[in-house]
Structure 1
Amino acid sequence: MTWFAASIVLATHPLDQPDGPYQVQENIVLFEAPSRSLALKKAAEHGYKETIVDDDFVVNGVLAKKHFAGIRKLINILNPYPLDQDEDQPTTGTEITNTTFEIANPDDLSAFTKGEVITLKYID
């Protein structure tokens, strides 16, 4: 079976502000499935389960609600050569997911790699 990495997006907002602002969390989770559609179904089920919280869910001292916003991206993971993509399980060196950004200049690139806040263009 094939392994997939799903980008599961969860959003949290204060109960008294249903239209936002949202605190968004993207979780990258592995799923093994015989097809892309079944992997997507498994990922969505996982996302919904992540939002089950008690009635006293608090964020920053305020009652809040967490909800499953969707699957942003689902990709086949890539095992390193010579491992088979479907037969072998993930191992050291397996690429789980990737993202493409556009960064304006070398200073911003350096800041980004240091974990500093910059403005960038998210491509995919």
Structure 2
Amino acid sequence: MRPRVLVVDWDEGEAHALAAAFAAAGWAASVRLNSIDGLVAVEDERPMLVVLRWDMPYIDGDTFVRAMAVGLATPPPVLVLAAPAVADAPPRLPLRAAWQPVSTPPAAVLRRAQELLGLPTHSSSV
């Protein structure tokens, strides 16, 4: 079974670029462009990982993560994409998480996700 990732990001282009990078590496990837739909998808899809944009409208990243931690018996780890100032000094979260600057290229986000989950990383260079 392929690992499943849920990308929650208000920037449609960024979200689909991230999903494409994961899909090219063999993941089943889905995208939600708002945090409310993202929370529903976490419950419905049970992804192995959530890639979350921290500065989401309606429900911000902190509230999103806390809702997952309270609402799910086993919430998935979260790879948070945030402004560099936040990613460099992130707040503590109630579940397994890693932080990346929002401007990180999709391939680097994929590698960081693999590291977070303890999966082998593969270089695209020959």
Looking at CA atoms only, which structure, 1 or 2, has the larger radius of gyration? 1
| TM-score, normalised relative to structure 2 | 0.26
Relative contact order (C-alpha < 8 Å, sep 6+): which is higher? 1
Instruction: Kindly indicate which of the two structures has a greater share of residues assigned to helix.
Output: 2
| TM-score, normalised relative to structure 1 | 0.26
Instruction: Kindly indicate which of the two structures has a greater share of residues assigned to strand.
Output: 1
